[in-house]
Amino acid sequence: TGCDTILAQMAAECLDCDVDKIIVFGADTDASPYDSGSYASSTTYVTGKAVEKACYQLKENLCKLAAEKLECSIKELEFTKNGIKNLNTDTIISLSELAAKSMCGNNISTQVTVTHSSPVSPPPFMVGMVEIELDKETGQVDILDYVAVVDCGTVINTNLAKVQTEGGLVQGIGMALYENVQYSEKGAIAENSFMQYKIPTRLDMGKLRVEFESSYEKTGPFGAKSIGEIVINTPSPAIAHAVYNATGIWLRELPMTPEKVLMALPEE
């Protein structure tokens, strides 16, 4: 899902450091705290907020530790990328010095664990527009141009969000036009290999264009919302509408195969 990258980006932004300084430890049930998983559009929105909260708590703990070292009030300190600075004296204690101090004679934790669960689930929004070419003699539908515009709040990583959207669009187009599952009377699946189960390739896609309409979600990390499932939702209704505009026929079942399109057309 790209979570290693975007969660590291969020942590780096909160801790005012380079992304290279953030090391993401992959989930390991022997060592990791419990998490319900990265699914259902929850990674950026829910886990990202947990990262944000954890960073603020860690900075607060480090400032408390620095206050002891510098013998001042925590209100006089500011967390910076170079260390923790005393605003009155301009004295800076580096993070490496704090790390050394935390090893001995210290009861302030320099490790934090945060749990976050959102009571609300703000939906992302998306519009899809498609131009098709339909052959009325064979029922073949080809995608010429597909344009998608997504509102997933503030986009954390534009490249990752774009390729996720493009991937979801291709999946949605496959669901709309190609992918079919048929069972025999004995329950055997006819499409049991990629020779029979057809998925679209890059050559089947024509032009794909993705744009983002930025908004700010106050309950999400840095204003972000989810993007996961919505990207697969628009191709089917958009293509069905395009088929209707081309033929005057509404197809209500997926996939809209050439056979179904041809059989739905008037005989003349």
For residue range 115-139, what is the model confidence (pLDDT) as tens digits?
898 899 999 999 999 999 999 999 9
| 45 shares its domain with 10 | yes
Tokens of 153: 């709040």
Q: How many CB atoms lie within 10 A of CB 151?
A: 18
Is the link from the previous residue into 33 a cis peptide, with omega within 30 of 0?
Answer: no
* Exposed/middle/buried for residue 178 (C-beta within 10 Å: 0-12, 13-18, 19+): middle
Confidence of residue 27 (pLDDT cuts 50, 70, 90): confident
Count of domains in the chain? 2
For residue 250, give the amino acid letter.
W
Domain range enclosing 244:
125-264
| 83 shares its domain with 134 | no
| 66 shares its domain with 192 | no
| 70 shares its domain with 201 | no
- Write the pLDDT tens digit of every residue in 186-217: 999 999 998 999 999 888 888 999 999 989 99
| 134 shares its domain with 260 | yes
- Write the pLDDT tens digit of every residue in 76-100: 999 998 899 999 998 899 999 988 8
Q: φ and ψ at 79, to 5 degrees?
A: -80, 125
The structure's pTM equals 0.85
Q: How does strand 141-151 pair with strand 125-134?
A: antiparallel
Q: How many CB atoms lie within 10 A of CB 225?
A: 25
- Answer positive or negative: Cα dihedral of 77, 78, 82, 83: positive
Instruction: Check residue 222 and give its pLDDT.
Output: 95
